[in-house]
Amino acid sequence: MKLELRGVTKRFGSLVANDHIDLELRSGEIHALLGENGAGKSTLMNVLYGLYQADEGQILLDGVEQHFRGPGDAIAAGIGMVHQHFMLIPVFTVAENLMLGHEDTTAVGILNIASARARVRELADRFGFQIDPDARVGDLPVGVQQRVEIIKALAHDAKILIFDEPTAVLTPQETDEFMQIMRQLRDEGTAIVFITHKLREVREVADRITVIRLGKVVGEASPTATNTELASMMVGRAVELTVHKDPPQVREGAGLVVRGLHVLAADGTVVVDDVDFQVRPGEVLAIAGVQGNGQTELAEAIVGLQEKVTGSITLDGEELVGKSVRGILDEGVGFVPEDRQEDGLVGSFTVAENLILDRSADPAFRTAGTIRRGDLDRFARDRIAEFDIRTQGPSSPAGSLSGGNQQKVVIARELSRELKLLLASQPTRGVDVGSIEFIHKRIIATRDAGVPVVVVSTELDEVVALADRIAVMYRGGIVGIVPADTPRDVLGLMMAGETPTKDAA
């Protein structure tokens, strides 16, 4: 089967998400669609899958133009999609999820669950998946849930499979297993579109690479291209991917000390379970783990955003548990939240106003309850220059900036005052490679200034690049704290809950 996209254009109001994109896919190949978050990759695949309708352009299968009014039409044409966030019903079994939307009934109108079980077993045996058709999906590990999604697509005779950021929720070992599955599918003749922004994975598994930037195809690349070459295509300029740092110069002082920390969710579930660690002035502790293992709640507990917290969190000997968020920030804690648009910025406020969100009462900017606009404007222009924020000026709405520049506003705000602790949660999520380079340099500069730094990240490359020590979380607890040069396969096992050996630690 041959798939062609010709001149596909998709607009959302004034935003052109896909701008006259041409793409070709053949049976028996893995075609990687590479680009930063927001480049238009997922939008393009949603058009192909029938979730969106193109404003212009054509979709052709074996030379015949297609008009998909919804995913059902795409599935009928032999196209399957495995979404980054799985489309499974947790309380249903594997077989029941397989049947969903394609219910097969017996002559008397009863669901033919036996047929679905047989189909699951057939496909699982074919790919060595070892999946129980009667297992409840919510009880399965994330990597196995992804295989259920693949079986769902194959059960409907998909000849073309779209994988949208498929490794985002996987451990390194699960990622390696997934890439082997892709190779097996390719060798059996399946055409695969692999959407990602991870350069290492693209080079390892792709037969062809198409790079998208700002909604346009900027070129094709060979899998033999270097990471630097691919990154340059994605960003449009030369990028330094390596984080250069000297060994940490740990200073005197306790820094951040967490002891016996427990956090309960609103429903009483334990989300952080008896956590202990210390971060000394002048070092970076990176907290790694698959998303959803308590990292978010741990970070929020440190900054006072969680209500049901017991244990101790001290900063230079000062207890933070029980203080308000305002009180904790005033203690010198800089906080970069994982969702900048929800928690880090006010999109309708100007860049200047966002740069002092946590300092609006500071005498440096206010007199008798009124902000001195001249001083604020000068401060904002200095930060815009220092942090290379690409904006038309201090008065531009923060919501009008690109994701990378929005993140730079957050970073600039937090690093523009004297800090006793920097807590950066997913500091480069959804930003371009060039902004990642800049943000990493600023984090290391903060460490080198003698500030304790905690980085929470699900990107293992980022963890290894920034960390002096790595704490791995699994199901709310810390499995172990290991040196930054710990092998990736050891870190992957820890992310799956396995305690490291003494040699690894």
Tell the burial category of 233 from Cβ atoms under 10 Å away from its Cβ (0-12, 13-18, 19+): buried
For tokens 């050996």, name the residue: 501
Task: Give one DSSP letter per residue of 368-417, joined into a string.
Answer: TTEE-HHHHHHHHHHHHHHTT--SS-TTSBGGGS-HHHHHHHHHHHHHSS
Render pLDDT for 125-165 as a digit per residue (tens, 0 to 9): 887 788 899 999 988 877 788 889 888 888 888 899 998 88
Percent of the chain with pLDDT over 90: 54
Higher-confidence position of 237 and 189: 189
Segment 365-393 mean pLDDT: 87
In terms of C-beta distances under 8 Å and separation of at least 24 residues, what long-range contacts does 387-394 make, across chains too?
387/411, 387/412, 387/438, 387/442, 388/438, 389/351, 391/351, 393/351, 394/350, 394/351, 394/352
Fold observed for domain 242-332+418-505: Rossmann fold (3.40.50)
Confidence of residue 368 (pLDDT cuts 50, 70, 90): confident
Low-confidence winner among 17-21, 258-262, 264-268, 445-449 (lowest mean pLDDT):
264-268
2-235 sits in which CATH class? alpha beta
Confidence of residue 456 (pLDDT cuts 50, 70, 90): very high
Higher-confidence position of 417 and 423: 423
Q: How far is CA 447 from CA 255, 279, 280, 282, 421, in A?
A: 12, 11, 10, 5, 9
Residue 365 burial (CB count, 10 A): 19
SS3 309: strand
pLDDT at residue 459, rounded to an integer? 86
Task: Report d(CA 59, CA 47) in Å as an integer.
Answer: 9
How is residue 372 written in tokens? 């001195």
Would the pTM count as exceeding 0.75? no
Residue ranges of domains in the chain: 2-235, 242-332+418-505, 347-417
How is residue 195 written in tokens? 């959407």
pLDDT at residue 306, rounded to an integer? 94
Higher-confidence position of 288 and 390: 288
pLDDT at residue 503, rounded to an integer? 54
Render pLDDT for 238-287 as a digit per residue (tens, 0 to 9): 777 778 899 999 998 899 999 999 999 988 999 999 999 999 999 999 99
pLDDT at residue 505, rounded to an integer? 47
For tokens 């909604």, name the residue: 215
Low-confidence winner among 184-193, 276-285, 304-313, 338-347 (lowest mean pLDDT):
338-347
Instruction: Look over the chain and give the mean of its residue pLDDT values, rounded to a whole number.
Output: 89
Is the pLDDT at 452 greater than 90, yes or no?
A: yes
Task: Give one DSSP letter per residue of 261-303, joined into a string.
Answer: EEEE-TTS-EEEEEEEEEE-TT-EEEEE-STTSSHHHHHHHHT
Is the pLDDT at 448 greater than 90, yes or no?
A: yes
Confidence of residue 442 (pLDDT cuts 50, 70, 90): very high
Confidence of residue 351 (pLDDT cuts 50, 70, 90): very high
Chain centroid to CA 412: 22
Segment 197-210 mean pLDDT: 89
Render pLDDT for 97-109 as a digit per residue (tens, 0 to 9): 988 877 777 666 6
pLDDT at residue 467, rounded to an integer? 96
pLDDT at residue 197, rounded to an integer? 78
Render pLDDT for 58-92 as a digit per residue (tens, 0 to 9): 999 999 999 999 988 998 999 988 876 778 899 99
